[in-house]
């Protein structure tokens, strides 16, 4: 094993299974040395392509769910920060948006 492959092997040895699965899913982007080290690490761990594909698919689903939840959380937080769950806050937020639109229109008509 040459130095480059040895470096990859040492790095891959420290990675969790999910990251090994992600690397396997993107194997075409790896160098030859990285591919060889990855194959050796998969063999050392007793992992096959089917297991890694299944693991990677599960990780992608988990990440997609996390992203959806984060997006919903940001929307909820933004609404709360704007209004503090007070109906008057919504009125001020809408009026503020209308004022910004009006100013934008006046500026664009002036030019």
The DSSP string of 39-95 is: HHHHHHHT--HHHHHHHHHHHHHHHHHHHHHHHHHHHHHHHHHHHTT-HHHHHHHHH
The alpha-carbon radius of gyration of the chain (Å, integer) is 26
Does 111 reside within a domain? no
Name the more confident of 2 and 42.
Answer: 42
Whether this model's pTM surpasses 0.75? no
The parent domain of residue 62 ranges over: 3-82
Question: In angstroms, how far is CA 47 from the centroid of its own chain?
Answer: 25
| Per-residue model confidence (pLDDT) at position 13 | 95
Alpha-carbon distances of 48 from 4, 39, 54, 63, 87, rounded to whole Å? 24, 9, 10, 23, 57
In the chain, what is the greatest distance between 2 CA atoms, to the nearest angstrom?
Answer: 71
DSSP 29: G
Six-digit token pair at 32?
């030859």
Does 88 reside within a domain? no
Does 76 reside within a domain? yes
Give the N- to C-terminal CA distance of the chain in Å, as an integer: 68
What pLDDT, in 10s, does the model give residues 75-97?
887 777 766 667 777 777 788 89
| Per-residue model confidence (pLDDT) at position 85 | 66
Does 36 reside within a domain? yes
Does 104 reside within a domain? no
pLDDT category at 72 given cuts 50, 70, 90 is confident
Q: How many domains does the chain have?
A: 1
The whole-number average pLDDT for the span 89-106 is 87
């Amino acid at each position: 094993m040459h130095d480059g492959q040895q470096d990859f092997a040492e790095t891959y040895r420290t990675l969790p299974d999910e990251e090994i699965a992600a690397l396997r899913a993107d194997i075409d982007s790896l160098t030859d040395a990285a591919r060889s080290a990855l194959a050796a690490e998969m063999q050392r761990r007793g992992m096959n392509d089917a297991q890694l594909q299944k693991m990677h698919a599960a990780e992608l689903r988990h990440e997609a769910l996390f992203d959806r939840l984060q997006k919903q959380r940001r929307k909820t937080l933004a609404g709360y920060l704007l209004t503090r769950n007070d109906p008057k806050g919504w009125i001020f937020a809408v009026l503020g948006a209308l004022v910004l639109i009006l100013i934008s229109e006046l500026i664009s008509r002036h030019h």
